[in-house]
Amino acid sequence: MSDPLLELDDVYKSYGEEQVLSGVSFEMDAGDVDVVIGPSGSGKSTMLRCVNRLTEINGGAIYLNGECVTDADTDVNELRKQVGMVFQDFNLFAHLTALGNVTLGLRKVRGIDKAAAQEQGYEHLEQVGLLDQADSYPAELSGGQKQRVGIARALAMDPKLLLFDEPTSALDPELVGEVVEVMRDLAAEGITMLVVSHEMGFARSAASDIIFLDDGEIVEHGPPEQLFENPQAARTGEFLSRLETTHEGE
């Protein structure tokens, strides 16, 4: 049996006294789209950030393609070349155009020359439907456009795994759709994605698995049908019903 693409093995993380992750374990295979849900402060974003080591774990281990990436001697830059990230607040490089955002990593990290990087950059902007905005600066783009540039920037590095940290939470409701649509396309293309999000439409239709995280522990982990229609744990059911109430209220 081949190794899973990503494996978290009994991962612990604390900030001082505050325990954020308490023994989180799960696996993802290539092509999987796992959606992480859970209450605010449950450790979802922290867990995601541990995977590309923007946050360092205190215990356990994380494996990418069977290789431990949380050893002290792991080259974090090599790891991050293989794991792309999309941020809640976009974090687009403010001084660069959309194209510049997508090509900076190609040029500085991959060492590709400008012309070739731009050619690839245009392809990725086209992939997220923003070819016509290549020369726009982040401040000239809408929130939805910014996030699509953020996705193109992550895609450009040709990662084995894409992390999404609440990609639609900072968006006006009418702009969520365009971002979710791009994510759906990527899922359909077989790109491996680990997504922290409460976009239930996306979770239901695109997710291979749903991971419900509460208080730093995985309470329930299973296919969307099971989690949404027939949750095994009481806490999962409670959380989902609260989520539905909130969304109906909108």
Footprint of another protein (CB under 8 A): 52, 54, 77-78, 80-81, 84-85, 87, 89, 91-95, 104-105, 108-109, 136-140, 153-154, 157
* Min separation Cβ 149 and another protein, Å: 11
* Min separation Cβ 115 and another protein, Å: 19
* Min separation Cβ 70 and another protein, Å: 16
Other C-beta atoms closer than 10 Å to the C-beta of 51 total: 23
Q: Which CB atom, from 1 or from 139, has the smaller least distance to another protein?
A: 139
Whether 186 and 158 have beta carbons less than 8 Å apart is answered as no
3-state secondary structure 139-156: HHCCHHHHHHHHHHHHHH
DSSP β-ladder status, 33-37 and 209-214: parallel
Greatest Cα-to-Cα distance within the chain, rounded to the nearest angstrom? 56
Q: Which CB atom, from 33 or from 154, has the smaller least distance to another protein?
A: 154
DSSP β-ladder status, 217-222 and 209-214: antiparallel
List Cα–Cα distances, 206 to 75, 102, 118, 182, in angstroms. 32, 25, 31, 12
Whether 163 and 86 have beta carbons less than 8 Å apart is answered as yes
* Min separation Cβ 157 and another protein, Å: 6
Q: Which CB atom, from 150 or from 231, has the smaller least distance to another protein?
A: 150
Q: Which CB atom, from 12 or from 93, has the smaller least distance to another protein?
A: 93
Say which residue the tokens 């969304």 belong to. 247
Can you name the residues that pair with 83 across neighbouring β-strands?
A: 161
List Cα–Cα distances, 201 to 44, 87, 111, 228, in angstroms. 19, 20, 39, 11
Q: Which CB atom, from 90 or from 228, has the smaller least distance to another protein?
A: 90
* Min separation Cβ 185 and another protein, Å: 22
Q: Which CB atom, from 84 or from 143, has the smaller least distance to another protein?
A: 84
* Min separation Cβ 234 and another protein, Å: 37
